[in-house]
């Protein structure tokens, strides 16, 4: 599904990735481990061209990905991204945030007026159901807890119907129970939908628990590729030459407990309802 050959990324004189080769199969759940600054985010960002590779080739589903306009449109459709800090639009409703995952497949005019075809609303609702947030669909997203916001991020990624999900430290700000929930949704996406998932993590324990395969990155190079049960002390020393970092355990890192924003006046909780195109036509007639 993803073939990376000879990928280099330079920022000025500094080389963040040195000739990285990596193949990830369809539906595989791969975890990337590495110390802070090892190049994990840069690797994900090169795959979806948020960072333009300096050298090398990346193929997604057999097609070479490109950073020109048409190439970017394709990669943004095929590859969804989940971020540590959720990247949700706080004042929009939960449902509208999930619907933004459909924008790449909608006519521009409809998306401009935030008018969503009924088919897309049905897809978004189904994705919310999968992350058990359907009862929150009409709430403003800034009333949700951190864990719930990350589940909105996952629902938005699923709504995109991508071939690949890239998750950049998706549980770094969450407590252990919520982290496992979020990682389970990602694992389900790979198993049930055949979506290829590449997930950057700081927590070795979660890599052992969830990964099908682990990639270890150190100083911009892949230093380990193997099964989670092959993560011996020796291997961890390769991946973390300075020692396994403090704070690789979410609880110890002072992760956010999964509590929602307290008491906002009820009326303020509800963002404007989502309308279908026929509903809008009726309102305007």
Ligand X SMILES: Nc1ncnc2c1ncn2[C@@H]1O[C@H](COP(=O)(O)OP(=O)(O)OP(=O)(O)O)[C@@H](O)[C@H]1O
- Residues engaged in binding ligand X (CB under 6 A): 11, 14, 16, 34, 36-42
What minimum distance in Å lies between the beta carbon of 172 and ligand X?
A: 8
Report the C-alpha gap between 248 and 239 in whole angstroms. Answer: 13
Nearer Cβ to ligand X (14/229): 14
Nearer to ligand X by C-beta: 13 or 234?
13
Taking the least distance from each CB to ligand X, the nearer of 37 and 90 is 37
User: Which is closer to ligand X, CB of 1 or CB of 201?
Assistant: 201
Residue 20 C-beta: closest distance to ligand X, Å: 12
Nearest Cα to Cα of residue 28 among 189, 153, 230, 151 = 189
As a residue count, the chain comes to 285
For ligand X, the closer of residues 176 and 247 by Cβ is 247
The least distance separating ligand X from the CB of residue 213, rounded to whole angstroms, comes to: 18
Nearest distance, CB of residue 124 and ligand X, angstroms: 30
As measured in angstroms, the least distance from the Cβ of 178 to ligand X is 20
């Amino acid at each position: 599904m993803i073939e990376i050959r000879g990928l280099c990324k330079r920022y000025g004189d500094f080389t963040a990735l040195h000739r990285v080769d990596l193949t990830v199969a369809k539906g595989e759940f791969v975890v990337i481990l590495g110390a802070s600054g090892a190049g994990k985010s840069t690797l994900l960002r090169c795959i979806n061209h948020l960072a333009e590779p300096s050298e090398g080739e990346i193929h997604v589903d057999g097609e070479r990905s490109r950073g020109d306009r048409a190439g970017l449109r394709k990669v943004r459709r095929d590859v969804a991204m989940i971020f540590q800090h959720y990247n949700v639009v706080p004042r929009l409703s939960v449902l509208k945030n999930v619907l933004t995952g459909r924008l790449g497949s909608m006519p521009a005019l409809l998306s401009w007026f935030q008018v969503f075809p009924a088919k897309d609303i049905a897809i978004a609702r189904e994705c919310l159901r999968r992350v058990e947030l359907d009862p929150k669909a009409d709430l403003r997203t800034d009333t949700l807890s951190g864990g719930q916001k990350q589940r909105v991020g996952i629902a938005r990624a699923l709504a995109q119907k991508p071939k690949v999900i890239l998750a950049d430290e998706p549980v770094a700000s969450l407590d252990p129970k919520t982290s496992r929930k979020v990682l389970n949704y990602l694992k389900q996406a790979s198993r049930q939908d055949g979506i290829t998932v590449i997930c950057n993590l700081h927590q070795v324990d979660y890599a052992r628990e969830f990964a099908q395969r682990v990639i270890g990155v150190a100083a911009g190079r892949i230093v380990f590729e193997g099964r989670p049960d092959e993560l011996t002390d020796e291997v961890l020393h390769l991946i973390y030459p300075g020692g396994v970092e403090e704070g690789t355990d979410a609880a110890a890192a002072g992760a956010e407990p999964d509590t929602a924003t307290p008491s906002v006046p009820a009326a303020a909780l509800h963002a404007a309802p989502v309308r279908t195109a026929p509903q809008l036509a009726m309102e305007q007639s």
